[in-house]
Amino acid sequence: GCGSGASPVVANIAKKSGALTLAVVTKPFSFEGIQRMEIAQDSLRKLKGKVDTLISISNDKLLSILEPKTTVLNAFWACDEILRQAVQGISDLIVLPGIINIDFADVKAIMKDSGSALFGIGKATGSERAREAAQKALSSPLLDLSCKGAKGVLFNVSGGK
């Protein structure tokens, strides 16, 4: 498809121009078939060498946390929503002001030539909300990799008044 075929080419051009390159991708659902999964795996291998940071989300893992009666259409919508949250989360780190700001230089220092990366979101309320949210973000069932051996971390905490 366009994403699996064009992504490595576009990423390579962007990286060669000096841009910080980040790919946030999903792996197909098992029900989409072996051929589609093989195409996705091949594309991931090609893409990994062309981007600074690669975040890969397993649609099957996402399906495992959705309600059993979720329709196929809603499952695809949920995948799109996870992708949106990942991209917006990284963008928000750079553009939204905070008590302790993370700017583009911070993001670039962590993501430049970093390879595979994890992305987790945690939300909580109550007196232990920061700790609980961090634990949820780090133990998300969507994470394909372990944090063990990580070379860097971008961590953002936001909250209400």
For residue range 103-160, list pLDDT tens digits in order. 888 889 989 998 888 878 888 999 999 899 888 888 877 776 777 777 888 877 777 6
* 117 CB-side CA count, 13 A: 27
Residue ranges of domains in the chain: 2-138
pLDDT in tens, 48-58: 989 999 988 88
Distance CA 70, CA 138 (A): 25
> What is this structure's pTM?
0.81
Tokens of 79: 């995948």
Which has the higher per-residue pLDDT, 140 or 63?
63
Cβ-Cβ contacts under 8 Å for 53 (sequence gap 6 or more): 21, 22, 23, 111, 114, 115, 116, 117
Q: Does the structural domain 2-138 have CATH classification 3.40.50.1440? A: yes
User: 81-90 pLDDT, tens per residue?
Assistant: 888 888 888 8
For range 68-81, the mean pLDDT: 90
Residues 6+ apart with CB under 8 A from 85: 121
> Rounded to whole angstroms, how far apart are CA atoms 55 and 143?
9
Q: Which of 87, 27, 22 is nearest to 62 (CA)?
A: 27
The Cα 116–Cα 119 span in angstroms is: 10
Q: Which residues contact 94 (CB under 8 A, 6 or more apart)?
A: 102, 103, 104, 107
Each residue's pLDDT tens digit, 35-50: 999 999 999 999 998 9
